Amino acid sequence: MTPQVACRFCAAGLTCEACDCGDQPLANSLVSMDAPDVPDPRFPLRVMVCSACLLVQLEQAADPGAMFTEYSYMSSVSAFWRDHTARFSAMAVDRFGLTAESLVMEVGSNDGTLLGAFAGRGIPILGIDPAANVTAEARRRGVPTLTAFFGERTATELAAGGRQADLLVANNVLAHAPALMDFVRGFARALKPAGVLSIEVPHVLAMLKGAQFDTIYHEHVFYFSALVLRKVLAAVGLAVFDVETLPTHGGSLRLLAQHAGTGQRPATPALDQVIKAEIDAGLHRPESYRILADAAARVVGGLRAFLDQARADGAVVAAYGAAAKGTMLLNAAGADSETIVFVADASPLKQGYRMPGCRIPIVAPDRLKAVRPDFLLVLPWNIADEIMEATRFIGAWSGQFVIPSPVLRVIAA
Ligand SMILES: [Zn+2]
């Protein structure tokens, strides 16, 4: 990894720091049980704000080729996501008038959960994702999927083969694409003249307000506002005509865009309203983003103090959710397998591995009943309610939940 000295959008020098998270392991690079007993590689994790265009981005980002060719997250595992995708497909078919003659394309289609919802409504679909294991699963489930990195070249090849989208969906992928401009040029190429682009990204405003410091990791290169994303899309001829704020990932933006020259949908007032909220919060000033560093210090300090106390009391602490934000928080707080016995996770793809850096083992949720921990640390706070509901049984032995962010709370089960 080499430090990026110029903004990935406007090429101005990156000199303004929002938060320095120190040296951290790659958050999604799970470690096998028989890996040699040597420290996992760590890389500097520093969030910068471009003083010229306000794009929030990492100074050093992980190479997507090393990360996404084998991916350990399957969309279908989360009941919340299945529900989210069902609502989205119903809305989109209705609002954009999709028919059996249309094509819905999804970039970062994972195991095909979202596209499957469109196929169920009789709409032709095509997925694109670089991870061979999840695309194989998607095809097994009957979702046509291309195993490829998305960008201008892939989109141009698809267009040459007569495949362009009436609806192009890119949910939670844009923030992970270091070659931002190649990616958005791909959007413009992949979209039919009257097509609609739907993008979902975590909203940097929610991140700042909610002290979501653990959403910072090397695979998450960009932290977007509507203010900036509108400019990025405009640079490739795409015009945002609607925006919605969503509760997903602790607060996300869904932007709808079309070709500036040929799109036909009128702009709604929502974009101006969201941008006004961003400006009211100071997102138009680079120095506003420094509150991230204060949030990080508070959340990490709170968890560290809790783990020290638990150890002093001889309490058994387990965690739930082997996702990237868990890796970040556990490593930043200096947790290890002495302080946290294991991380439970429902995904069979993660069980039997260890968390990067801190090397805490990942096990099936069943283990909770055998070990009966005093505390269950819920790492993915964005789906904390779903996790607490599924593990309410820890109340049988007076186990308690611990929610680390934005301020650590202990909740009876
Ligand atoms: Zn810039």
In a domain, 241, yes or no: yes
Question: How many angstroms separate the alpha carbon of residue 287 from the centre of ligand 1?
Answer: 15
Question: How many angstroms separate the alpha carbon of residue 187 from the centre of ligand 1?
Answer: 20
Question: How many angstroms separate the alpha carbon of residue 44 from the centre of ligand 1?
Answer: 21
Measured distance CA(193)–CA(326) in Å, rounded:
42
Q: Are residues 82 and 103 in the same domain?
A: yes
Q: Are residues 334 and 307 in the same domain?
A: yes
Question: How many angstroms separate the alpha carbon of residue 55 from the centre of ligand 1?
Answer: 6
The β-bridge partners of 361 are: 354
Q: Are residues 238 and 364 in the same domain?
A: no
Residue 87: CATH number of its domain: 3.40.50.150
- How many CB atoms neighbour CB 347 within 10 A? 17
In a domain, 308, yes or no: yes
Question: How many angstroms separate the alpha carbon of residue 265 from the centre of ligand 1?
Answer: 29
- pLDDT for 104-135, tens place per residue? 999 999 989 999 999 999 999 999 999 898 89
Question: How many angstroms separate the alpha carbon of residue 91 from the centre of ligand 1?
Answer: 34
Residue 378: CATH number of its domain: 3.40.50.720
Query: CB–CB of 392/339 below 8 Å?
Result: no
Q: What is the pTM of this model?
A: 0.88
Question: Final residue of a domain: which of 282, 303, 331?
Answer: 282
Q: How many residues does the chain have?
A: 413
Question: How many angstroms separate the alpha carbon of residue 149 from the centre of ligand 1?
Answer: 24
Compute CA distances 340 → 81, 102, 162, 217, whole Å: 28, 50, 53, 21
Q: Are residues 114 and 238 in the same domain?
A: yes
Question: How many angstroms separate the alpha carbon of residue 275 from the centre of ligand 1?
Answer: 18
Q: Are residues 225 and 335 in the same domain?
A: no
Question: How many angstroms separate the alpha carbon of residue 238 from the centre of ligand 1?
Answer: 18
- Domain carrying residue 387: 291-412
Q: What is the DSSP letter of 108?
A: T
Query: Each residue of 315-327: b (16+ CB within 10 Å) or e?
Result: eebbbbbbbbbbb
Question: How many angstroms separate the alpha carbon of residue 186 from the centre of ligand 1?
Answer: 20
Question: How many angstroms separate the alpha carbon of residue 228 from the centre of ligand 1?
Answer: 9
Question: How many angstroms separate the alpha carbon of residue 25 from the centre of ligand 1?
Answer: 27
The letter for the amino acid at 413 is: A
Question: How many angstroms separate the alpha carbon of residue 221 from the centre of ligand 1?
Answer: 14
Structural domains counted in the chain: 2
Q: Are residues 140 and 264 in the same domain?
A: yes
Measured distance CA(61)–CA(40) in Å, rounded:
17
User: Residue 404 has which token pair?
Assistant: 């680390």
Query: CB–CB of 314/368 below 8 Å?
Result: no
Ranges under pLDDT 70 in the chain = 64-78
Question: How many angstroms separate the alpha carbon of residue 406 from the centre of ligand 1?
Answer: 29
Question: How many angstroms separate the alpha carbon of residue 49 from the centre of ligand 1?
Answer: 8
Q: Are residues 146 and 205 in the same domain?
A: yes
Question: How many angstroms separate the alpha carbon of residue 67 from the centre of ligand 1?
Answer: 25
Measured distance CA(334)–CA(83) in Å, rounded:
35
Question: How many angstroms separate the alpha carbon of residue 108 from the centre of ligand 1?
Answer: 25
Question: How many angstroms separate the alpha carbon of residue 151 from the centre of ligand 1?
Answer: 20
Q: Are residues 297 and 158 in the same domain?
A: no
- How many CB atoms neighbour CB 225 within 10 A? 26
- For ion ligand 1, residues whose CB falls within 5 Å: 7, 9-10, 12, 50, 52-53, 55
Q: Are residues 329 and 295 in the same domain?
A: yes
Question: How many angstroms separate the alpha carbon of residue 51 from the centre of ligand 1?
Answer: 7
Question: How many angstroms separate the alpha carbon of residue 79 from the centre of ligand 1?
Answer: 37
Question: How many angstroms separate the alpha carbon of residue 17 from the centre of ligand 1?
Answer: 13
Q: Are residues 312 and 222 in the same domain?
A: no
Question: Final residue of a domain: which of 282, 313, 330?
Answer: 282
Question: How many angstroms separate the alpha carbon of residue 246 from the centre of ligand 1?
Answer: 26
Question: How many angstroms separate the alpha carbon of residue 37 from the centre of ligand 1?
Answer: 41
Query: CB–CB of 404/321 below 8 Å?
Result: no
Question: How many angstroms separate the alpha carbon of residue 168 from the centre of ligand 1?
Answer: 26
Element (H, E) at 363: strand 362-363
Question: How many angstroms separate the alpha carbon of residue 56 from the centre of ligand 1?
Answer: 8
Assign 215 to helix, strand or coil: helix
Question: Final residue of a domain: which of 254, 282, 310?
Answer: 282
Q: Are residues 84 and 109 in the same domain?
A: yes
Question: How many angstroms separate the alpha carbon of residue 224 from the centre of ligand 1?
Answer: 12
For residue 331, what pLDDT is reported? 95
Helices (H), 120-209: 132-140, 152-160, 180-190, 204-209
